[in-house]
Structure 1
């Protein structure tokens, strides 16, 4: 009886090779699964399914993970205003973890003997997939033909052509990975420490000019409407905002970061909706949260984003931090106004019933109605008391020495 294996399938060169190699050379029963986290439309998914069956899979399954992806990961990245190295919204990092968890679930449902993924041995994805699979389906065999056989692109193409496989073997100059929370773009300019992607390399071209104001409405930290257009699920609001902001070319940058395996790398990304949402959400928080709420959120969120980037989404400490982040959003409700321009955007301001910047307590730099000058004199005497004692004692002793 042939071995039953589940293959995480994208329809690209690496996973297409995996199907033919496992079925033709090893005689395995391959069950392919594609997890859509917002990067494919219905037509593309149908084409991928047809391609999988032509290659020889036993079954092919499409998992619509857009909303579950938001609920399990993206929501907390927004609550935490998470940007890797203050730059990158963790687009691919988050996406791979969601995909890996769904692949593991599919393997359990099919009672598969092994799980296959098409990762190479050069990047972060191999670690993320392996870690999730080792935890979610412990003891299952993990097969990675591309990594284990150290295959180059040319070898894979030659093998598939020898098997009569028809697909587009022409490699674009740029490697593009699209999902709900942004699109990564890799190319020759990102392989070195200097270089910017040319305009033609960006998947979303700039087609809008002038400026445009958009209103984002948050309810307890979640984006619920854009320009008064309400959405049942925040994932749909993100997709809608992307259609508005993307053509302005905002949210483009190049991220420089440390990989899980210890090397540094550069990757371009475009994430119009994610960047606008994070900055708008943060602006609203600065108005409705207290100083120490903001301080501790920043501290925990930085750890959360970094640990998630390294594949540790299943660590129980992540559930603890998520509970804190969720609780911190109970007053983060209101409207944020954003001005979009070609290649940049700016926050115009916010309106919220919970705004702590209330005129009835005073106007910064102008007038205060919450306390008197005498109150301040007493406050500063107490607030600086311990430091004053230190200087009186230690600085005097220092002079004696």
Structure 2
């Protein structure tokens, strides 16, 4: 096994971003037993853990040998600072992926950095490998927020395979579900990613048992989503005090249909392409429903500029640049654009798919009193259109006339 490149002495206080999975479990055991560090673990819950699971993670951390363990409830702050803007922008990376892990890691990195400052730690540790995006996201935020704190990444720096990690932990008598560890699963409020041997190549689909949510519904079901200024506040007749509660409730309904399963192929920050499986029933339904509502209540140029800014926002967020001040500027635009995005969207859920049936909104610009597309006009005359068409194409007509005269 390769050596960890750090000169910090035994007894050094370090803060570890801890999930309880294979990589971070290895970090605790290795850093405490081989390096003699005083490890303080922190888990940032962004919606992927139940109360019971958090208690199990805490017990696991102490069994591994941490000095202290801290749980940060970041679900609502995660939504307020990141997810709501992804909804406002209808953000899907490469028209496919709702940035489930990308967004989650940034929220976690920010809270881990704050905890490291609070603990006055000499180093901060994360379990990222050297082949993915997370290493850049964590490192960059730590460099900005805690520049004088050393960053330690055992999995990346020691170039460890999952098999080597499992072998080491078994040699130390650590009891874990190593069979489950064959798949890397990251669950959060905005979706769950699943990585395994099938996603390491350009061809291959995850087996049914690898998906965290199993399909148990077969009969179509209709849901009504209520939005107020772009935020999901109501499902059917149930009102929610915070959109996070609505998202989790919708996930409990739609997830059982197997909706939102897909494989994302994308360009990583470090320049290679990668594949990852994900399931995101609630995010996919919400994004498509929200977009459908926007197409009814926003003008052509509002939609046009939203699309352009949102695409940049999603890409820049994906690459870890949440602290760039331009992100606050775009968030201000996206927030203002939601002023009239209020109404209800009707969605039919079916096994592995869903369909947006329609919307109802007092701000609907598809009002019949102004005309019905392809049928009847009531706000203009045929002569109005003839004149408009001539003026609207006037410069192009001049261009073609000049071109013809100069042949």
TM more than 0.5 = yes
Q: Assess, with a 3 A threshold, how the Cα gap between structure 1 residues 192 and 207 changes in structure 2: closer, same or farther.
A: same
- Mapped to 1, the partners of 2:396 and 2:325 lie a distance apart of 40
- Structure 2 residue ranges without an equivalent (≥5): 1-9
Relative distance call for 1:340 and 1:120 in structure 2 (3 A) is same
Match for residue 226 of structure 1 among 216, 223, 235: 235
**Is contact 2:46–2:74 with CA below 8 Å preserved after alignment?**
yes
Q: CA deviation at 1:109?
A: 1.1
Q: Deviations over 1:105-152 (max 9, x none)?
A: 111111111100111111111111101111111121101111111122
* Structure 1 residue 173 displacement after superposition: 4.3
Among 325, 341, 362, which residue is 2:334 paired with? 325
- Further displaced range: 330-339 or 55-64: 55-64
Q: How does 1:58-97 map to 2 (within 5 A)?
A: 58-97=67-106
Q: Deviations over 1:280-338 (max 9, x none)?
A: 00000000000000000000000111111111111111111000000000000000000
Shift of 1:104: 0.4
Counterpart pick for 2:14 among 5, 12, 16: 5
2:113 matches 1:116: no
Name the counterpart of 2:209: 200
Q: Distance in 2 between matches of 1:343 and 1:167?
A: 32
1:122-141 pair list within 5 angstroms: 122-141=131-150
2:22 and 2:181 in contact (8 A); partners too: no
SS at match of 1:207: coil
Residues in 1 aligned to 2:175 and 2:281: alpha-carbon distance in whole angstroms: 35
Per the TM alignment, residue 166 of structure 1 is displaced from its structure 2 partner at its CA by: 2.7
**How do 1:220-299 and structure 2 match up within 5 A?**
220-299=229-308
Note the C-alpha offset of 1:189: 2.5
Gaps in structure 1 of 5+ consecutive residues: none
1:378-389 to structure 2, matched below 5 A, reads 378-389=387-398
Say which SS state the counterpart of residue 34 (structure 1) adopts. strand
Match of 2:176 among 149, 154, 167: 167
Root-mean-square deviation (Å): 1.3
1:8 CA displacement = 0.3
- SS of corresponding position for 2:400: helix
Q: Distance in 1 between matches of 2:349 and 2:165?
A: 44
Structure 1 segments of 4 or more deviating over 4 A? none
TM-score, scaled to structure 1? 0.96
Q: Which residue number corresponds to residue 27 of structure 1? A: 36
Q: State the secondary structure of the residue aligned to 1:357.
A: coil
1:308 is aligned to 2:317:
yes
Secondary structure of 1:94 counterpart: helix
Against the structure 1 CA distance between its residues 63 and 328, is the aligned structure 2 distance closer, same or farther, given a 3 Å change threshold? same
Structure 2 distance, partners of 1:178, 1:342, is: 21
**Shift in Å at residue 192 of structure 1?**
2.0
Q: CA deviation at 1:394?
A: 2.0
Distance 1:42 1:96, change over 3 A: same
CA-to-partner distance for each residue in 1:45-102, whole Å, 9 max, x for gaps? 1111111112221110001111111011110000000000001101011111111111
